Amino acid sequence: MITPHGADALNPRYVSDGAYRSELLAEAESLPSLVLNSAAAANAVMLGGGYFSPLDGFMNLADAMSVAVSMQTGDGLFWPVPILNLCADVGGIEVARRIALRDPNVPGEPVLAVMEVASIEAASNNQLDTMIQAVFGTTDDGHPGVAEFRSLGRYCVSGPIDVLNFSYFERDFPDTFRTAVHIRAEIGRLGWETSVAFQTRNPMHLAHETLCRMAMERLDADGLVIHMLLGKLKPGDTPGGVRDACIRKMVQLAFPADTVMVTGYGFDMLYAGPREALLHALFRQNMGITHLIVGRDHAGVGDYYGPFDSQAIFERIPPDALEIDIFPADHVAWSKKLGRVIMMREAPDHAPDDYLVLSGTNLRELLQNGIHPPPEITRPEVADILMDYYSR
């Protein structure tokens, strides 16, 4: 099995010892509190689950700037995206050495983690713009990731954390949310030597299914991990529960038993294109995955990135930066000539009219209008689930 990133073992920040966790919860009631924003809470959940190993907490400003500019921390660890706890107001915690981090996504804002405060620093406008340009490739506020980042505040609160729970993810997605620790252990139990991960924030249609099968066959993989983002999305994206039901139905119909894990992780989508693709690969390595499928416009949004920028960036990082490999994929679509889904770059004899291509927007329009998607796009059983949701 592939080794974790930057260390021999994972560094999950979740406190698994029940007695110590109870002790920290009791201590937290007397500590100054900081209510996190959703982005920082998602980072805490990822740290808790070992996804962001070997980090032990939130980066300080120097590390964040170094990661933005050179994709490595001050001590030389490869990292593609700053892992920050940014906030707009530090009133009440300015001189605190330990603080309780509270969850903005759960009613009552319960304690999510306890933090040892290493520093509180104010980022300048220039520093914020440098990070935004480096991570997102633009400073345009029309980009949803840029707009979200600018809304977080300028104060960088850094230091190691002890995570006490996984927010709403375990409660809302009990059969799907899994930590990197859990997935790595399950891959070991199954004895998978070569494995493939598929990242998704949408239901999987016939093209996605075929792409996963192509990757498994061409890599001679033992198993596939469908790993869906369960956190904050953008308006119009399919809710997590509906997406989960669609994917499980597809797996039941399309893949042999014990070859696919359907899992999810608690993170907010960044829409950072190439940089986010690298982060996706890094935490899949921590899960024990050997290959990540990276398709056209992976983690992109709008027209901010070229269709293959998220693949090309892997050619520009040091060869020893990551151990995980990618499976680079072109767009996949139904071929009218061949009567099956194919990868477009592998069909030089096809003209645009030889394909049946339906965008996510077009598909939602069909569903909202009560039109059953064609079987060339979506398995009928999956379409039934989507139709049921969109007809409510």
Question: Quick one: pLDDT at residue 308?
Answer: 96
Question: Quick one: pLDDT at residue 235?
Answer: 67
229: closest CA among 176, 301, 296? 176
Domain 176-265+269-390, CATH class in plain words: alpha beta
Q: Is 33 helix (H, G, I), strand (E, B) or coil?
A: strand
Task: Specify burial of residue 392 (Cβ count, 10 A radius: 0-12, 13-18, 19+).
Answer: exposed
- The answer to whether 18-167 and 176-265+269-390 have equal CATH topology is no
Would you please indicate which residues are annotated as catalytic (active-site) residues?
201-202
Per the listing, tokens 């290959």 go with 291
184: closest CA among 171, 174, 195? 195
Tell me the HSE value of 268 on the side-chain side, using a 13 A CA sphere: 19
Question: Quick one: pLDDT at residue 234?
Answer: 66
112: closest CA among 37, 18, 10, 17? 37
Question: Quick one: pLDDT at residue 238?
Answer: 80
Average pLDDT of adjacent 10-residue blocks, the chain of 392 residues: 95 98 97 98 98 98 98 98 97 95 97 98 98 98 97 98 97 95 97 97 89 97 96 75 93 94 95 98 98 95 95 97 97 93 93 85 84 91 93 82
> Cα–Cα distances in Å, from 19 out to 29, 44, 63, 98, 162?
16, 21, 33, 19, 14
Say if CB 276 and CB 148 are below 8 A apart. no
Beta bridge partners of 325: 291
261: closest CA among 358, 187, 333? 187
178: left (phi over 0), alpha (psi -120 to 50) or beta: beta
Question: Quick one: pLDDT at residue 182?
Answer: 98
Assign a CATH topology to domain 18-167: Sulfate adenylyltransferase (3.10.400)
Domain spans of the chain, in order of start:
18-167, 176-265+269-390
Question: Quick one: pLDDT at residue 383?
Answer: 93
